Amino acid sequence: MKRLTWTYALALWITLSACQTEAPQEPQDQAQWMVDNAQRYLTDRAWRRQHLETSLWRPELPYARKRLDSYGLERGGWDKLQTIAPTVAPVRADGHPSDVHNDGQNLLPQQLPTTIEGWRALGKEVFWKMPMRRDAYMEWIAQRPELWDDVGLQTDQDGNIRGLTRFEDARGNQRVGLTCGICHGDNGVAGKAARQLDLGHARALFSQALGNTPGAFEDWGPGRVDVTSDSVDDPLTIKNLWGVPHQSHINTSGSIQLHSPAALAVRFETQFIVGHAMEARPNRALMWALAIYIVTLDRPQTEPQTDTPGADIFQARCAGCHNPQRGYSGDLVNAEALTSSQQSARSPLRGTGFYKTPSLLGISSGGPYLHDGSQPTLGDLLDSGHPFGQPLPEDDKHTLLQFLQTL
């Protein structure tokens, strides 16, 4: 396979820009673009491959190489993996295991949607119920209800554990998987970061049960998780998922460029494959639906109060990075210029030397803040002089804090 070089990647980007219709910027327009291009994603291998390549702007990183060596190939690779049947069953809080065959729900409809509303409805089901990854420690926790409160698991309106689902893996074994809703569905609000979730504590308990030390897992704390398989312990804050269509990159270090919403669907597809140990792939229609759901997802708060003194301070001091016209997000920032830790930006797996500028939509929903969770509250964040160590005057901090509470 041809290894991407910087020159080749640039040439590819120019070629794609010339021959493809550019994806729109507004969420509703992005969703319609996805509806119009659904069949291309589902049937055109080369088209999916192009979107993978253009999204991986640092092709030399191990994170990128793994995907470039395996996804959307002319022969072999992940496209040949078995597709997991999208039948799922809940993990019941009453302690009685459900059975996929007797209690299961097939997520894939008989006919694919043709409208934004139809795709969103399917994407919502995928968000809450599709097993995006499986982990031995969570399967162990799922069998021990007495630990659920301790690690921050929640129940839904039906009395099931929110964010966990039972499914049948590629080998025919019934397993427990994690859905998007476990980290991004706090109190049943889609997109809201589950800051009470303590996956580090869950991993520490599992490690101790095996007779091992808890290691660094116990130090993660609620609302932080490390999902990378590298040699560095660098747990990151669980993020809200609002404002994704306005962002230029995803992953904390910005290793994936969102040149179009198709890149988001490819991200979900490859995320599923890696999360299932490269033994299976998902039905692509479900990943496309999930991407449409995410690009149209919005916070439950009201619109920002842009006619206040706090908004003026924000415009003068913050909008250079967090552009209101881009969902209060922005471009990549060199990690060396910031006061926060550079560890994740230097990750051996997907460190770019940069951090993405996240969207601030929903920032008032709770901390901890910054990529490493080093600031417990918004007040602490402003006191730190974020991002370059230049504190605001006290009156300005109070006024700015009032505005941030409306985002």
Query: How do residues 115-143 score in pLDDT, each as one tens digit?
Result: 999 999 999 999 999 999 999 999 999 99
Q: How far apart are the first and last CA of the chain?
A: 46
Q: pTM of the predicted model, to two decimals?
A: 0.93
pLDDT in tens, 210-229: 999 998 899 999 999 988 77
What is the mean pLDDT of the segment spanning 280-293? 98
What tokens does 229 get?
Answer: 């398989």
Average confidence score pLDDT of the chain: 91
* 93 or 278, higher pLDDT: 278
Q: What is the CA radius of gyration of the chain?
A: 21
**Which runs of consecutive H residues, i.e. helices, occur in 156-247?**
180-184, 199-209
What is the structure's pLDDT at 359? 94
Starting at the edge strand found earlier in the chain, the sheet holding 87-92 runs: 105-106, 87-92, 160-168, 174-178, 133-134
Count the residues in the chain.
407
Angle between helices 116-129 and 284-295 (to 10 degrees): 100
What is the structure's pLDDT at 9? 41
* 4 or 278, higher pLDDT: 278
Answer positive or negative: Cα dihedral of 213, 132, 329, 153. Answer: negative
Residue 390, amino acid: Q
Residue 85's pLDDT band (cuts 50, 70, 90): confident
Answer whether residue 6 shows pLDDT above 60.
no
> Residue 356's closest CA among 189, 221, 215, 237?
237
Residue 23's pLDDT band (cuts 50, 70, 90): low
What is the structure's pLDDT at 25? 67
pLDDT in tens, 34-71: 999 999 999 999 999 999 999 999 999 999 999 999 99
What is the mean pLDDT of the segment spanning 22-42? 87
pLDDT in tens, 364-376: 988 899 998 999 9
What is the structure's pLDDT at 13? 39
H/E stretch holding 227 reads: none
Residue 212 CB burial class (10 angstroms; 0-12, 13-18, ≥19):
exposed
pLDDT in tens, 307-366: 899 999 999 999 999 999 999 999 999 999 998 888 899 999 999 999 999 999 999 988
What is the structure's pLDDT at 96? 78
CB 174 within 8 A of CB 167: yes
Superfamily of structural domain 309-404 = Cytochrome c-like domain (1.10.760.10)
pLDDT in tens, 382-400: 999 999 888 899 999 999 9
Answer whether residue 2 shows pLDDT above 70.
no
CB 223 within 8 A of CB 373: yes
Answer whether residue 22 shows pLDDT above 70.
no
pLDDT in tens, 162-214: 999 999 999 999 999 999 999 999 999 999 999 999 999 999 999 999 999 99
Q: Residues spanned by CATH 1.10.760.10 within the chain?
A: 309-404
Share of the chain above pLDDT 70, in %: 94
CA distance 291 to 294: 5
